[in-house]
Structure 1
């Protein structure tokens, strides 16, 4: 099999247009993701305040549950949203300025987003497997 030299690859105008459109959509999705993140965080904070006012809870119980939720939500939503935004802005700037370094940074952020999402998916699968194993063991014994 013949190896191609990817160091000298050039992108056609059609490819650049598709990349530009992908970056535009990525930017829109990342902005929506970050905005929704902050709306949900505000809802968590206010629901925690209201719950603690009207319910007899364990001291700081609602606070710790809200804190855990915020941390998990940040790891699963905000960080991918920021990586997606970085991909979009760097890619758009790279196309406008014809800058190879910005294009490399943009694609690097996209790679980091995929890696991060893959790690989260694997961690989720392992967590679900652990919960199932614990439930099976609990049912047996």
Structure 2
């Protein structure tokens, strides 16, 4: 079963553009499919979508990868004082992660991804109909 994960990076468009490039590079270490970039702050003509800057869509194929991804994202945000992301899993919920998150928040982030893993483990197998 594949889980779709949306990661939204928040901040000034130029900074977000740089952070998105960095995060996309680091996400290549995971067993995930990364959707192509839709827009960039460097785009200057028609078709520039500021809402798309900082939006990363992933397809995650296994629950352990999803949990590892959650740990990685928490640590990635903690590397700089002004980082903030919103992780969304359609139909299941969302979690905002900031560098200001303390120990209690880290536990909540772990629980969020653990619940997503449990949801995948309990999902019915797809039928061939």
**TM-score under structure 2 normalisation?**
0.31
Higher strand share: 2
Q: Larger relative CO (CA 8 A, sep 6+): 1 or 2?
A: 2
Higher helix share: 1
**TM-score under structure 1 normalisation?**
0.29
